[in-house]
Chain A
Amino acid sequence: MNANRRQLLSHSATVAGLLLASGVLGKSAWAAGAAAGKGAFEARSLADVVKALGYGAPVESKDVTITAPDIAENGAVVPLGASSTAAGVKQMMLLVEKNPSVLAALFNVTPEVESSFKARVKMGQSSNVFAVVVTEDNKVLFAQKEVKVTLGGCGG
Chain B
Amino acid sequence: MADPMRIRAQAAGDKATVRVLMAHEMESGQRKDSAGKNIPAWYISEVTASLNGKVVMTAEWGPSVSKNPFLEFAIKGAKAGDKVAISWIDNKGDKRSDEVAVS
Residues of chain A whose beta carbon lies under 8 Å from any beta carbon of chain B: 26-28, 30-31, 33-36, 40-41, 76-79, 81, 96, 99-114, 116-122, 124
Q: Chain A residues near B58: list those with CB within 8 A.
A: 30-31, 107-108
B89 touches A113 (CB 8 A): no
Q: Is the interface of A mostly helix, strand, loop or mixed?
A: mixed
Residues of chain B whose beta carbon lies under 8 Å from any beta carbon of chain A: 15, 26, 28, 30, 45-46, 48-49, 51, 54-67, 69-77, 89, 93
Q: Closest approach, in angstroms, between the C-beta of B79 and any C-beta of chain A? A: 13
Q: Chain A residues near B76: list those with CB within 8 A.
A: 111-114
A78 touches B55 (CB 8 A): no
**Which A-B residue pairs are the 4 nearest by beta carbons?**
A104-B64, A112-B56, A118-B72, A41-B62
B57 touches A120 (CB 8 A): no
Compute how far the CA of A84 lies from the CA of B48 in the bound complex, rounded to whole angstroms: 21
